[in-house]
Structure 1
Amino acid sequence: MEITTVQQLVELYGSPRETSLAKEIDHLNADYAAFVKASPFILLATIGPDGTDCSPKGDAPGFVDILDDRTLAIPDRPGNNRIDNLKNIINDGRASVLFLIPGVGETLRVNGRARISAEPDLLARFAVDGKLPKTVILLAIDSVYFHCAKSIMRSKLWDPAGHVERSSLPSAGQILKNIVNGFDGEAYDQELPERARKSLY
């Protein structure tokens, strides 16, 4: 049976616990700010006229700066230049960020409205070895809440015993070789570590 109405969902799942609703607030309090400051990795989700995008972003813990209790600043470091999420932000602005912290089961979600800044003083706040991000994403917070640890517990995400050997999966070069005719996947893989090192910032 396909579920097609909200009423069907409510009947199937029932009402949320009171604490599930109470934990959602419209700003960063001290507890939620602690998660932002400890996180070295986020997933940024956006929506635009061509669909949705969910992009990973990572850096040293606390790389997402708290400008105030209702505003986050996220540096956009060098990547593949697809800029899918940036284009979505220009067209729509709705965005969500999921903060992950290695070894911690709970995650933090922030929903809000994003805009893009290239203001020099703001970029300078995120300089690493003299290198600036091209832009900074400013997220005006609408809601903040934590997710319980169940999904992390079920996946055993932080359990080293469950970690996958990278060699058991296709390499980046192999993936591209199988998609792009004539692509030299072996050379790509050989050059990748040094290229990545030089372009981190």
Structure 2
Amino acid sequence: MGRQFAKIAFTPLVKKQQELHGSRRQYQRIEEIGEPGGRLGEDEREFIEARDGFYMASVSETGWPYIQFRGGLKGFLRVLDDQTLGFADLRGNKQYISVGNLQHDDRVALFLMDYVGQQRLKILGRTKILEGNEEARELIAKFRTSEHNAIPERAFVIHIEAFDWNCPQHITPRFTEEEVRDLLAERNA
């Protein structure tokens, strides 16, 4: 865990719970001497670019959290630089809950899972939504994948505030169809 993630996540009430349950001292050390944790390195870049989906949380005007799965071909979530991600937002069920929430509060939490490798990466950031202008069209073209029947409506650009690799404990391995096919082909070769 990086210092920046701890700074954002460890509110006074969280710290109180850490004290009550005996973990505060170890996390206080991270806050004082841990890695900064605000810029992506090569490990994070490779992990992000290998994902075919992630979970994105936002908060509504009434304070309710909302989480949505975003999926696509591997690599649809692009690392633009060591503090910026982007993707083309594809037409879906037309509820626009995340889009509406992010107009109220631009903060997001992303949760990226590798079920097979039992790894997860949490990212906190601020989102800019681009739609209906030349910059949006350019970014959509840049982010577009070869996914059939995918209709991009807007571009999301996320400035990373902090990230944290979470422990693998309790991640149940799950396999996609592609991963099962690859394993079977390898076994039958």
Higher relative contact order (CA 8 A, sep 6+): 2
TM-score by length of 2: 0.72
Give the CA deviation at 1:48.
Answer: 2.4
Separation (CA, whole Å) in 2 of partners of 1:105 and 1:20: 23
Separation (CA, whole Å) in 2 of partners of 1:32 and 1:26: 11
Separation (CA, whole Å) in 1 of partners of 2:66 and 2:114: 22
Bigger drift between 103-112 and 13-22 goes to 13-22
Asked whether the equivalents of residues 42 and 58 of structure 1 are also in contact (C-alpha less than 8 Å), the reply is yes
TM-score by length of 1: 0.68
Asked whether the equivalents of residues 18 and 24 of structure 2 are also in contact (C-alpha less than 8 Å), the reply is no
Give the CA deviation at 1:140.
Answer: 0.5
Tell me whether 1:14 sits opposite 2:23 in the alignment. yes
Asked whether the equivalents of residues 124 and 132 of structure 1 are also in contact (C-alpha less than 8 Å), the reply is no
* Superimposed CA distance per residue, residues 5-39 of structure 1 (whole angstroms, 9 cap, x where no aligned partner): 54244222422646966366001111111110111
Asked whether the equivalents of residues 103 and 158 of structure 1 are also in contact (C-alpha less than 8 Å), the reply is yes
Asked whether the equivalents of residues 54 and 110 of structure 2 are also in contact (C-alpha less than 8 Å), the reply is yes
Give the CA deviation at 1:76.
Answer: 1.2
Asked whether the equivalents of residues 88 and 154 of structure 2 are also in contact (C-alpha less than 8 Å), the reply is yes
Give the CA deviation at 1:60.
Answer: 1.4
Give the CA deviation at 1:151.
Answer: 2.5
Give the CA deviation at 1:159.
Answer: 7.1
Tell me whether 1:43 sits opposite 2:55 in the alignment. yes
Distance 1:31 1:159, change over 3 A: closer
Give the CA deviation at 1:74.
Answer: 2.3
Give the share of equivalent positions with the same residue, in percent: 21
Aligned to 2:138: 121
Counterpart secondary structure, 1:25: coil
Q: CA RMSD in A?
A: 2.6
Whichever residue aligns with residue 20 of structure 2, its letter is E
Separation (CA, whole Å) in 2 of partners of 1:46 and 1:36: 20
Counterpart secondary structure, 2:128: strand
Separation (CA, whole Å) in 2 of partners of 1:159 and 1:38: 14
Aligned to 2:4: none
Give the CA deviation at 1:77.
Answer: 1.4
Structure 2 segments unaligned to the other structure (5+ residues): 1-12, 177-189
Separation (CA, whole Å) in 2 of partners of 1:85 and 1:13: 36
Separation (CA, whole Å) in 1 of partners of 2:46 and 2:160: 16
Give the CA deviation at 1:131.
Answer: 5.2
Aligned to 2:179: none
Structure 1 segments unaligned to the other structure (5+ residues): 161-201
Whichever residue aligns with residue 94 of structure 2, its letter is N
Whichever residue aligns with residue 136 of structure 1, its letter is A
* Superimposed CA distance per residue, residues 76-130 of structure 1 (whole angstroms, 9 cap, x where no aligned partner): 1121111111111111101011111241111011101111012111111233358
Separation (CA, whole Å) in 1 of partners of 2:73 and 2:35: 27
* Superimposed CA distance per residue, residues 28-57 of structure 1 (whole angstroms, 9 cap, x where no aligned partner): 111111110111110000112132110001
Aligned to 1:158: 174
